[in-house]
Amino acid sequence: MKTIKTYKGFGNSQVVDVSNYQGRENEAPENTKRGNFITFGFLDLNKYYLPNGEPNFSHADLLNIAIREKQNKDNAHKRIARDYKRKGWSYIPFPLQVDIKTGKPKNGRTRIRAALLNGETCIPCAYFDYTEDNKVSGHVQELSEGLIGNDGLVSRVTRFEDLVEAGISACKHGEVNEDRVSILNLLANEFEASRFVDETEFSDIADMVLDAVNDGQDAMWMPERDDVIEYLKNSPDLPKDAVFASLDQDIPKGKKRVFVYSAPSQSNKGRLWGNIAHEIPKGSYVALYTTKKFPSKMKKDYVEFMEYQDWRYEECFEIVSLSIQGVTLEAPKDRPWELIGVIPQINNNEHNNMRNYNRLVKLNDLK
């Protein structure tokens, strides 16, 4: 917790003063379920920058997993960042809420991402002390604070789809029974869903949650391809000789191209093989991510995706052997490509910690 009361920044180096929120303490109960307001202050943003000075947008604190169905795909933080530069800080919305014990934001992640985009090191916030409730799990309490904390933020208010996403996560990880009555109770009493949708929609939400859970879905980080590439560029697991370049671009001698693909995908299997074959014998690197919200199937999808590359490689040697009488060629055991890892996308402590440091998961370590 920063003890400063003023900060110079947010467009034309304006002086942002949290004393301007004086008297708005009465708004605090509207934005929380269990939090007790402590004080207005500034959240230190330095922990959300990588060692190279770039914002770490994949930090677990900043990913709206299970809170926003679209997560950060709408790029709202870019529009807000432009507003900060053009208009400066706005005192109109209630400040984002932060747990005074952990320093973790409960909402306002889009505003934080916008501030990071502009290189800010602090952002105004309201500190709360959150009391634990033994009636529901800590995970469900986190979901509640995230959903309710977004009540009243006109541009990013909690939506029907967000409640579905939170419901899925609560059932999978929050010790909520996977039955209709339990989910309806979760929506009405814990998530206070009537703030955001009509009560007649509760039934549809419950049905969608049950269908998704029964189908094996879970709340996961769903990055765009550009996000994955940016993640890889800042990963300590990226080999030193790796470069990102299309096949029509020349690369320095001694370097290897990195190919990034989503799996499962029949078309991507073929595309990857075409790229791998183009780089033989120099060799190449491969990194994978998924666009499917089925963590139980992830490892199988990745294994099958890479087994296809093995099959195509071995097929080439078989074709040559069949074409030349008296010649039998076997594919070398060493492959001219290396799967350097997969992106940690599951919403659990292990993957959250890995994302904080831009680490990759080895395929054999994926559970």
Residues 170 and 68 in one domain: no
Question: Distance from CA of residue 302 to its chain's centroid?
Answer: 19
3-state secondary structure of 361: strand
pLDDT in tens, 232-280: 999 999 999 999 999 999 999 999 999 999 999 999 999 999 999 999 9
Residues 140 and 191 in one domain: no
Q: Give me the DSSP letters along 246-278.
A: -TTS---TT-EEEEEEESS-HHHHHHHHHHHHH
Residue that finishes a domain, picked among 151, 174, 200? 151
Domain that holds residue 82: 6-151
DSSP state of 292: S
Structure confidence at residue 30 (pLDDT): 86
Residues 127 and 83 in one domain: yes
Structure confidence at residue 154 (pLDDT): 42
Q: How many domains does the chain have?
A: 3
Q: In the chain, which residues have pLDDT < 50?
A: 154
Q: Are 149 and 139 in contact (CB under 8 A)?
A: no
Residue that finishes a domain, picked among 184, 202, 219? 219
Structure confidence at residue 227 (pLDDT): 93
Structure confidence at residue 175 (pLDDT): 76
Q: Are 125 and 64 in contact (CB under 8 A)?
A: no
Is 229 within a domain?
Answer: yes
Is 1 within a domain?
Answer: no
| Whole-number average pLDDT of the chain | 90
Residues 172 and 254 in one domain: no
Structure confidence at residue 156 (pLDDT): 63
pLDDT in tens, 32-59: 988 999 999 999 999 999 999 999 999 9
Structure confidence at residue 115 (pLDDT): 95
Q: Give me the DSSP letters along 134-158.
A: TTS-HHHHHHHHHHHTTTT-GGG--
Residues 207 and 295 in one domain: no
Write down the H helix ranges in the chain: 76-87, 109-117, 138-148, 160-173, 180-185, 202-214, 225-233, 266-278, 295-323, 349-356
Residues 252 and 281 in one domain: yes
Residue that finishes a domain, picked among 133, 151, 169? 151
Structure confidence at residue 149 (pLDDT): 82
Residues 141 and 10 in one domain: yes
First to last CA, the chain: 36
Structure confidence at residue 193 (pLDDT): 93
Is 294 within a domain?
Answer: yes
Radius of gyration (Cα) for the chain, nearest Å? Answer: 24
Residues 290 and 178 in one domain: no
Structure confidence at residue 367 (pLDDT): 82
Residues 331 and 205 in one domain: no
Structure confidence at residue 117 (pLDDT): 94
Report the b/e string of 193-224 with b at 16+ CB within 10 A: beebbeeeebeebbebbbebbeeebbbbbbbe
Cα separation of 213 and 139, whole Å? 17
Structure confidence at residue 152 (pLDDT): 55
Residues 236 and 264 in one domain: yes
Residues 54 and 93 in one domain: yes
Is 174 within a domain?
Answer: yes
Global confidence as pTM: 0.80
3-state secondary structure of 63: coil
